[in-house]
Structure 1
Amino acid sequence: MPNNVLVAYGTTNGSTARIAEVIAEVLRKDGMTAEALPARSVTSVEPYDAVIVGGGLYAGRWHKDARRFVRRHHTALAERPLWFFSSGPLDASASERDIPPVPGVHRAMVRLGAEGHVTFGGCLEEGAKGFIARKIVASGKGGDFRDFEQIERWAARTAGEIAGASAVR
């Protein structure tokens, strides 16, 4: 069983960071060593037995820090169990149905042999950074659509998959 899991994330307003932290907490409860770190701060994935990468969705693309992380560490990521998550829909759709990865994330999944992907609801609230984000909030279309029970269930399932994937490798 892998004992060291990285949950790397790209976020602008902190919503995806909180999701990554919850995932790492669940993995730790399942007996793993796990840490959630901003993707831009990770210099190497070599110390980790498995990696989960998440990014907020902006205009149909993963956060730039998540995209850069995957490009920068592609060789090492392809050598270990890997999962992706996205956050972003500003409605309840992510809790109601499976939302497939956006095209860029799907291509990275295929290229790196990622084990899976999930899309969680996003969060955009008062004080958000960025002109467009502020306009969305001002128009009344913001809010917190993260479903933490769904996130915890996914993290617990993924912990089991991480354990199984490392047993095979």
Structure 2
Amino acid sequence: MTRNVLVAYGTTNGSTEGIAEAVAQVLRKEGLTVGTAPAGTVSDVTPYDAVVVGGGLYAGRWHKDARRFVRRNARALAERPVWLFSSGPLDPSASERDIPPVPGVQRLMKRLDARGHVTFGGCLREGAKGFVARMIVRNGKGGDFRDFPRIEQWAARVAGEITRV
């Protein structure tokens, strides 16, 4: 049976979109039909059998588009398997240890009965949008801390769970 999966994401500077695309690529390799979209553009999740939602972390909060997407679609999301991911730490900590979801994401997980959550490192480079982001880069604290082998391993586990559902 073909499983249709949505990978929706909230991002400001594109780092979370890159993670979402990597997740989608693995899901496709596992034989799933996958759509990816910015969370703010998705109006209906009912065509999908499962959903993965990712959000960049900004000052300890999930990206507003990811939060709004979950709130807007909470009823439909609660009826299907959902996995969440966050991206954000601008250091190698996310690759070195499991980082729990921030409190707002924990509440969303409970509300949706989400199957799982993982935090991946983020990426912030020259040309980033936002005053704070530009200051972080200017002060030498930016960089790319996304661990694509870890992202791909997580996505493969998600794919395995989807195909067993």
Is the structural similarity TM-score above 0.5? yes
Amino acid across the alignment from 1:132 = V
Q: TM-score, normalised by structure 2?
A: 0.98
Q: State whether residues 3 and 163 of structure 2, in contact with CA within 8 Å, keep that contact through their aligned partners in structure 1.
A: no
Q: State whether residues 5 and 35 of structure 1, in contact with CA within 8 Å, keep that contact through their aligned partners in structure 2.
A: yes
Residue in 2 aligned with 1:111? 111
Residue in 1 aligned with 2:79? 79
Q: TM-score, normalised by structure 1?
A: 0.96
Name the CA distance, whole Å, in 1 between partners of 2:158 and 2:99: 17
Quote how far apart the aligned CAs of 1:50 are: 0.1
In the TM superposition, what whole-angstrom CA distance separates every residue of 1:115-169 from its partner, at most 9, and x where no partner exists? 00000000000000000000000000000000000000000011011122x2xxx
3-state SS of 1:26 partner: helix
3-state SS of 1:83 partner: strand
Name the CA distance, whole Å, in 2 between partners of 1:35 and 1:70: 17
Find runs of 4+ consecutive structure 1 residues off by over 6 angstroms: none
Amino acid across the alignment from 1:109 = M
Q: State whether residues 19 and 151 of structure 2, in contact with CA within 8 Å, keep that contact through their aligned partners in structure 1.
A: yes
Residue in 1 aligned with 2:158? 158
Residue in 2 aligned with 1:45? 45
Amino acid across the alignment from 1:91 = D
Amino acid across the alignment from 1:137 = V
Q: State whether residues 11 and 56 of structure 1, in contact with CA within 8 Å, keep that contact through their aligned partners in structure 2.
A: yes
Q: Which runs of 5+ in 2 are unaligned?
A: none
Name the CA distance, whole Å, in 2 between partners of 1:27 and 1:34: 7
In the TM superposition, what whole-angstrom CA distance separates every residue of 1:32-68 from its partner, at most 9, and x where no partner exists? 0012110001010000000000000000000000000
Alpha-carbon RMSD: 0.7
Name the CA distance, whole Å, in 1 between partners of 2:112 and 2:26: 25
Q: State whether residues 56 and 63 of structure 2, in contact with CA within 8 Å, keep that contact through their aligned partners in structure 1.
A: yes
Amino acid across the alignment from 1:33 = T
Name the CA distance, whole Å, in 1 between partners of 2:30 and 2:117: 20
Residue in 1 aligned with 2:24? 24
